A and B are shown apart, each in its own frame.
Chain A
Amino acid sequence: MVDNIKVSGTLIESYLICKRQAWFHLHKIIPFQDHPFLEIGRLIDETTYERDLKRINLESVQIDFIKTKEGEIVVGEIKKSSKSKDIAKMQLLYYLKVLKDLGVPSKGILSFPTERRREFVELTTEDEEKLKRIVKEIENLSNESFPPPLEKIPFCKNCAYKEFCFS
Chain B
Amino acid sequence: MNEIIYIFKSGRLARKDNTIYFENDGERKFIPVENTKEIHIFGEITLNKDVLEFLSQKEIILHFYNYYEYYVGSFYPREHYNSGYITVSQARHYLDTNLRVSLAKKFVFGSISNMEKVVRYYNNRGVNLENILANLRNLKDNLDSIVDIPTLLALEGKSREIYYDSFNEILKDSQFFMDKRTRRPPKDSINALISFGNSLMYTTILSQIYKTHLDPRIGYLHESNFRSFSLNLDVSEIFKPIIVDRVIFSLVNRGVIGVDFFDKRLNGIYLSENGAKEFVKAFDERLNSTISHKTLGRNVSYRTLIRLELYKIEKHIIGENVYEPFISEW
Contact = CB atoms under 8 A, between A and B. Distances in A.
A153 interface: no
A28 B318 contact: no
A28 B307 contact: no
Contact of B311 (A1, A27, A147, A164): A164
A70 interface: no
Contacts of B213: 28-30
Contacts of A145: 319
A27 B83 contact: yes
A162 B300 CA distance: 13
Contact of A28 (B2, B85, B297, B308): B85
A162 to B, nearest CB: 7
B307 A32 contact: yes
Interface in B61-86: 81-86
Given A146-B320, A166-B295, A167-B295, A1 B211 contact: no
Contact of B86 (A27, A146, A167): A27
Contacts of B304: 163
Contacts of A28: 82-85, 213
A2 B88 CA distance: 12
Given A164-B311, A166-B295, A30 B81 contact: yes
| B contact residues, range | 20 to 34
Given A146-B320, A163-B311, A166-B295, A32 B211 contact: yes
| A contact residues, range | 10 to 19
B83 A167 contact: no
Nearest to B313: A167
Interface string B290-330: 00000111000000100111011011001110000000000
Interface string A128-156: 00000000000000000111000000000
Contacts of B211: 32, 34
Contacts of B84: 28
Contacts of A162: 296
A28 B315 CA distance: 14
Given A28-B84, A29-B213, A146 B318 contact: yes
Given A27-B86, A34-B2, A166-B296, A147 B318 contact: yes
A30 B83 contact: yes
Interface string B190-212: 00000000000000000000011
Contacts of B312: 167
Contact of A1 (B81, B82, B85, B320): B85
Q: Which of A146, A147, A166 has the most CB of B within 10 A?
A: A166
A167 B318 contact: no
Nearest to B308: A167
A46 B89 CA distance: 36
Interface string B210-221: 011100000000
B320 A147 contact: yes
Contact of A146 (B83, B212, B308, B319): B319
B212 to A, nearest CB: 8
A30 B81 CA distance: 7
Contacts of B82: 28
What are the 7 A-B residue pairs with the smallest beta carbon separation, nearest first? Answer: A167-B308, A167-B311, A28-B83, A27-B85, A166-B295, A166-B296, A164-B311
16 contacts: A27-B86, A28-B85, A29-B86, A29-B213, A29-B314, A34-B1, A34-B211, A146-B318, A147-B318, A162-B296, A163-B296, A163-B311, A164-B314, A164-B315, A166-B295, A167-B312
Interface of B: 1-2, 81-86, 211-213, 295-297, 304, 307-309, 311-312, 314-315, 318-320
